[in-house]
Structure 1
């Protein structure tokens, strides 16, 4: 009887530990993968540019509802902003149509199918408009190439 109780208790403990691992591992993996990602929200483009030097200068000061996500260990960036009208910023070029890089960062506010919609290059960013909403992202590889091309200071 005592032996049977010990076996049942051991099985219950092992089941609980197994369940804890099954639940904890995905959460830990998610934390580990995203620990170098920061997301910020700003009322205007001017506020965003004032708060973070990495926000692109081509973003209009009067842009509203700015969302900005960065990977702190490289050049991956996401940007979403409401612009005053349905036009891309003047600094953006639409010809030739860019072959966009994959969007490396993930946010619930950034479209998963953005890559296929890229219509312009704004500096190092791929971008497109959806009404007055600007979606733009920067790829780490493009950023690294640009960093290597700059002369040493």
Structure 2
């Protein structure tokens, strides 16, 4: 092997090792660039501002936090509900016994880890947990796409 070939091969190995070493950081950077977050005072303000906000969110909900992936259908939502019960049109389930327990794929400081194990219902394609008057809802893009392929209409 010539010195030029060895130099090129050696450079390639350095680049490959560097890519592996920074891979997780690159992934975090990429994911962060394809997410949008917003805070709204009320459910009606949220729905007026974000076309992807679920229609089942009550207008009188307050302290709405929302995150969505811009490259898929992954969503996180937190809101305070004045009535302390699931919104109209949502269905309840036995806590921790959802037919389709799907973990939240997005992460946000305002959305507690482990909430998927405490599912209390569903609203559209969202899994939901209601703790007192605090609603946590999440939607997994892959599950939404699978439901749509199975012929279920898109629901927000």
TM range (shorter): 0.7 to 0.9
Partner of residue 4, structure 1: none
Q: Supply the RMSD in Å over aligned alpha carbons.
A: 2.0
TM-score by length of 1: 0.76
Partner of residue 12, structure 2: none
2: distance between equivalents of 1:145 and 1:77?
16
After the TM superposition, list the runs of 4 or more consecutive aligned residues in structure 1 that deviate by more than 3 angstroms.
24-29
**Structure 1: gaps of 5 or more residues:** 1-20
- Matched pairs, number: 129
SS of aligned partner of 1:68: strand
Please point out which of 20, 40, 43 is paired with 1:42. Answer: 40
TM-fit CA distance, 1:74: 0.7
Matches for 1:66-85 after TM superposition, within 5 Å:
66-85=64-83
**Structure 2: gaps of 5 or more residues:** 1-17
SS of aligned partner of 1:121: strand
SS of aligned partner of 2:30: helix
Partner of residue 57, structure 1: 55
TM-score by length of 2: 0.75
Asked whether the 8 Å contact 2:93–2:121 carries over to 1, the reply is: yes
- 1:145 matched to 2:146? The reply is yes
